[in-house]
Structure 1
Amino acid sequence: MTYLSLLAFVAGGAITIQAMMNAQLGQLLKNALLATSIAFASSLVFMLLGFAVFNKQWPQREVIQSVPHYLWFSGGLLSAFAVAGFYWLIPKMGIGPMMSYALTGQLLLAIIAGHFGWFQSSIIPISPLKLIGAGALVLGIILINHG
């Protein structure tokens, strides 16, 4: 396992922990959308601090202007939908089932997106072995949640 794999593994664990904590916040506040707003506001503070500390330079104006308009807000919209969905679903489904279905959706879409190179991602063709792995993943999720 490379250090990048280990970092990805730890980041995945962090997603699970923050999802549980913020779902609890949503339950206590009786409002998953407010919990999501608080999570994003605190994330903004920490990211701005990180940017201030670690950023070496700002992008050139031409670079900023060349970014397609949809990229400025679509990621945030999808993040808000996903995170609010997590915080709303966790108390209803439990962390294990919710994360297992979410992870399955992420992995299956990642396989398709990688195959077609969506959003300038590296093209990684779908192979028969990947299809078997995806099938095993779906079967595993079914067994974990209904076995």
Structure 2
Amino acid sequence: MGQSTPIILAFIGGVFLALHGGFNAQLSEQLKSPILTSLVAYIISALIAFLAVTVNTRHFPSFHQLKDIPYYLWFSGALFSVAGIGLYYYTIPKLGISTMISIGLFGQILFSVIAGHFGWFGLPTEPIAYKKIFGVLAMTLGIVLIKNT
């Protein structure tokens, strides 16, 4: 498959996240609650995911496999997701979508560079190199330019 397909899919995923943030920020303004918007979004997302799982999954994990999953993995991703997405819904109307997404992406990149360098979460290590440092600095400049235009 090479690298082009995952790169294109990652790009599309980024576009979808920006669309998602824009629509749900509007919903948050209408509902007057980013946390209520998160609840609505996650309920609808759960229903869509349930439908996708029932259509696409041929083999479900056994009870033994489910029991062996560390307990914190059942809730930690969801906790950070709700908090992060709720913050998106809250800050997009205050900062604008391009500023919020670029600052949010900067947080993701900075954290991922550090986490990748140390191999946190059992993921492969990706040592920090000068090119990565330059990339983070370039992104910082880009955010400054986006924010101040």
**TM-score grouping bracket, smaller chain normalisation:** over 0.9
TM-score w.r.t. the length of structure 1 is 0.95
For 1:22, the aligned partner's letter is N
Spell out, residue by residue over 1:40-62, the C-alpha distance to the aligned partner (whole angstroms, 9 max, x if none): 00000000111111111111222
C-alpha distance in 2, partners of 1:119/1:46? 28
C-alpha distance in 1, partners of 2:146/2:90? 21
Spell out, residue by residue over 1:105-140, the C-alpha distance to the aligned partner (whole angstroms, 9 max, x if none): 001111111111111212111111211111111122
C-alpha distance in 2, partners of 1:8/1:129? 21
Tell me the residue number matched to 1:128.
130
- Aligned pair count reads 147
C-alpha distance in 1, partners of 2:141/2:92? 22
Q: Describe the SS at the equivalent of 2:52.
A: helix
Tell me the residue number matched to 1:115.
117
2:45 is equivalent to residue 76 of structure 1: no
Spell out, residue by residue over 1:75-125, the C-alpha distance to the aligned partner (whole angstroms, 9 max, x if none): 000000011111111111110111010000001111111111111212111
C-alpha distance in 2, partners of 1:85/1:92? 11
Instruction: Flag structure 2 segments of 5+ consecutive residues without an equivalent.
Output: none
Tell me the residue number matched to 2:96.
94
Aligned-pair identity in percent equals 37
Query: Which shifted more, 90-99 or 118-127?
Result: 118-127
